C-alpha cells in the first residue's frame, strides 16, 4: 500500500458493534472493504452506510463456526480486493455461564466461534496478507487477560486467541506482516444480548456496564489512531482496564476486588 493507494480491509463481525464502527471508520478513509458476518440484512445496512464514504464495499456472509466454508469466502474476498492490507477480526460471541454448570455444548460452541473460527479465517487469508505485508488485528477482551465470574467459557476462548496470535506474530514478522491484539473494556454494543447461558439459550438482556460503556464509534476512532504504528497490543476502555495492570502487579488485590464486584 502506497501513501495514495486506498487500503484493502476485510472486517469480520461487521454487522454490528465494534466491527460495524471500525468498518465505517475505515470507509471514511476511503478504504476498499469486504464486510463479513452471519446476518446479511445487517451487513447490507453497514454496506449502505459505508458507501456514503467509499464506492468499494462488498458483502460476503460468513459463519465463523462453519470452517469448511472459509476458503470459499476467502477466494471471493481475493476476487474483490486482490491483496489484503488489514484482516480485522471482530466476530464472536460471549457467555454468562457458571463454570461448573454450563453444558459442554456451550463450552464447545464458544471455542468453535471465538477461537477455531477466527484462526481458520486467518489461515485462509494468509496468502492475501503475505502479498501485501499485511496486518492482522484481533479484538479480544480484558477477559483475554483475566477471568471473572460467569465468563469462564468466554475468558478461555479469548485467552486462547492471545496464545495463538502471539505465536503467529513471531512467525510472520520476518515476512513483513504484523499482529495486533486489542483488549477493549466495556464498549456499548449488543454483545451481551445474545450471550449464551448454561443451557445455550440467549441471555436476552443487556449488561448495565455494557450499556454504559464507551460508544463504539469513539472506540473505533481511538483504535485506528493507534494501529498506524502496528503495536503488538492495544488496551482501550474505562477504569475496568486497570484490572490488567493489577493482574500483573497486585494479583491478590485484584482477586479481592473481583470477589466483591457485581459482575454482569
Q: Class of 8-260 per CATH? A: alpha beta
What confidence score (pLDDT) does residue 3 get?
55
Only one residue has cell 463479513, namely: 36
Which residues fall within 8 angstroms of residue 234, CB to CB, at 6 or more apart?
A: 180, 181, 182, 183, 223, 226, 227
Gap between the Cα atoms of 166 and 183, Å rounded: 14
What confidence score (pLDDT) does residue 216 get?
97
CA 29 to chain CA centroid, nearest Å: 20
Tell me which residue of 207, 111, 205, 210 sits closest to 153, measured CA to CA: 111
User: 149 is written with which cell numbers?
Assistant: 465470574
Domain boundaries along the sequence of the chain: 8-260
> Please, are residues 114 and 57 in contact by the beta-carbon 8 Å criterion?
no
Gap between the Cα atoms of 171 and 43, Å rounded: 33
Gap between the Cα atoms of 213 and 239, Å rounded: 11
Which residue has better confidence, 240 or 47? 47
What confidence score (pLDDT) does residue 81 get?
98
Rg over CA atoms, the chain = 18
CA 51 to chain CA centroid, nearest Å: 22
Q: CB burial class (10 A; 0-12, 13-18, 19+) of residue 50? A: buried
Confidence of residue 176 (pLDDT cuts 50, 70, 90): very high
What is residue 215's three-state secondary structure? strand
What confidence score (pLDDT) does residue 209 get?
83
- What pTM was estimated for this model as a whole? 0.95
Which residues fall within 8 angstroms of residue 114, CB to CB, at 6 or more apart?
A: 64, 92, 93, 154, 157, 158, 160, 161
Active site residues: 154
Q: Which residues share a beta bridge with 34?
A: 10, 58
Q: Which residues share a beta bridge with 219?
A: none
Only one residue has cell 468499494, namely: 56
Confidence of residue 149 (pLDDT cuts 50, 70, 90): very high
Confidence of residue 264 (pLDDT cuts 50, 70, 90): low
Mean pLDDT over all residues of the chain?
95
Q: Degrees (nearest 5) of the Cα angle 144, 150, 151?
A: 20
Give the residue-averaged pLDDT of 225-252: 95
Least confident of 35-49, 53-67, 246-260: 246-260
Amino acid at each position: 500500500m502506497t501513501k495514495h493507494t486506498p487500503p484493502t480491509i476485510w472486517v469480520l463481525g461487521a454487522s454490528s458493534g465494534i466491527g460495524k464502527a471500525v468498518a465505517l471508520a475505515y470507509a471514511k478513509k476511503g478504504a476498499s472493504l469486504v464486510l463479513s458476518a452471519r446476518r446479511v440484512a445487517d451487513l447490507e445496512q453497514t454496506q449502505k452506510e459505508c458507501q456514503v464514504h467509499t464506492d468499494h464495499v462488498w458483502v460476503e456472509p460468513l459463519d465463523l463456526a462453519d470452517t469448511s466454508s472459509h476458503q470459499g469466502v476467502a477466494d471471493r474476498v481475493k476476487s474483490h480486493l486482490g491483496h489484503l492490507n488489514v484482516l480485522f477480526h471482530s466476530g464472536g460471541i460471549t457467555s454468562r455461564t457458571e463454570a461448573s454448570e454450563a453444558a459442554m455444548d456451550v463450552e464447545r460452541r464458544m471455542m468453535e466461534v471465538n477461537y477455531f473460527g477466527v484462526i481458520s479465517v486467518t489461515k485462509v487469508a494468509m496468502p492475501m496478507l503475505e502479498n501485501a505485508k499485511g496486518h492482522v488485528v484481533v479484538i479480544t477482551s480484558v477477559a483475554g487477560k483475566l477471568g471473572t465470574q460467569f465468563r469462564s467459557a468466554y475468558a478461555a476462548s479469548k485467552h486462547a486467541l492471545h496464545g495463538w496470535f502471539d505465536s503467529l506474530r513471531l512467525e510472520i514478522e520476518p515476512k513483513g506482516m504484523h499482529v495486533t491484539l486489542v483488549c477493549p473494556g466495556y464498549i456499548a454494543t449488543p454483545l451481551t444480548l445474545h450471550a449464551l447461558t448454561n443451557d445455550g439459550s440467549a441471555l436476552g438482556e443487556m449488561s448495565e456496564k455494557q450499556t454504559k460503556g464507551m460508544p463504539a464509534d469513539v472506540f473505533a476512532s481511538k483504535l485506528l489512531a493507534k494501529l498506524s504504528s502496528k503495536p503488538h497490543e492495544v488496551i482501550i476502555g474505562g477504569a475496568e482496564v486497570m484490572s490488567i495492570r493489577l493482574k500483573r502487579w497486585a494479583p491478590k488485590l485484584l482477586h479481592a476486588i473481583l470477589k466483591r464486584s457485581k459482575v454482569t
